A = this chain, B = another copy of it.
Amino acid sequence: MAQKSADRDRCATGVEGLDTILYGGIPRSNTVLLTGSCGTGKTSLALEFLIHGALKGENSLFVSVTENSEKLLANIIPYMFFDKSLVKSGRLVFIDLPVMYERLGMTKAELGMEEVDLLVAAIRDLAEELAIKRLVIDSITSVCYKLKTSEKIRDFILKLGKALSDLNCTSMLVGEVPAQSTAYSSFGVEEAIADGIILMANMERRGDLLRTLQVIKMRGTMHSRARYVLDLTPMGVLLVPWLKGGSTG
């Protein structure tokens, strides 16, 4: 939405191109849906967002739902801008949601309405205790599989978003959609509740499969809605406009 000079405070993602697109970063305390199909670089972007925050002194939390966080760590160690001490100092925290489920006794395949509230409270308390300012849930789709009904999914995202926003924490919810899907989310409700939507996609060009990024919506700031090509490099994520010069896509 267009805005006067009295802009909301920003949470710079650390990905230079993305911060430019967003006129300085994500409006602080927004809940953003980072969505796309497999292999589009969602986890890499989310990690860079957290590492960048931790390097600037903001406590950051990665809530892993499908992947083992140890394995995840092994994969990001080679990043040039990554510093293991961030994890040791507690600036960058990894937690496996299945472990949290177990601790809360949520062993059934489907969570009930009260368990949704318990889960939101547990994440909120952890975020408050650790003074978390940046949070990633990878993936929200996996959580949705345990919620099942659109009512509970709406409820969970709304309440979690409100709780984190109250803590002034900026969040990225990683969404998974099937390959070649044009939808923004798997359950169709995640997108309507989020404050912002960053869409990552695979696009074939002359036999190559390019990664692209596009900000569809972001409450509280002006932003470009153009499509960018995303490059994963040892220095982190790079963004280039989809159409450089006058060439045809």
Contact = CB atoms under 8 A, between A and B. Distances in A.
Contacts of A76: 1
Contacts of A151: 109, 145-146
A126 B149 CA distance: 31
B179 A4 contact: no
Interface string A170-190: 000000101110111000110
B178 A179 contact: no
Interface stretch (A52-60, A85-93, A127-135, A203-211): A203-211
B142 A78 contact: no
Contact of A182 (B1, B68, B179, B191): B179
B71 A165 contact: yes
A162 interface: yes
B216 A209 contact: yes
Given A154-B145, A188-B178, A206-B243, A4 B226 contact: no
Contacts of A180: 182-183
Q: Tell me how many chains of this kind the complex includes.
A: 6
Q: Which of A1, A5, A113 has the most CB of B within 10 A?
A: A1
Interface in A197-230: 197, 202, 204, 206-211, 214, 216-217, 219-220, 222, 225-227
A146 B155 CA distance: 12
B149 A78 contact: no
A192 B66 contact: yes
A158 B216 CA distance: 32
Given A142-B192, A145-B150, 13 more contacts: A1-B76, A2-B235, A4-B78, A7-B78, A8-B74, A38-B217, A71-B165, A145-B151, A179-B182, A207-B249, A208-B226, A208-B227, A209-B214
Q: Would you list the 4 A-B pairs with minimal beta carbon distance, nearest first?
A: A39-B217, A4-B78, A3-B78, A207-B242
Interface of A: 1-8, 37-39, 43-44, 66-68, 71, 74-80, 109, 113, 139, 141-142, 145-146, 149-151, 154, 158, 162, 165, 176, 178-180, 182-184, 188-189, 191-193, 195, 197, 202, 204, 206-211, 214, 216-217, 219-220, 222, 225-227, 232-236, 241-243, 249
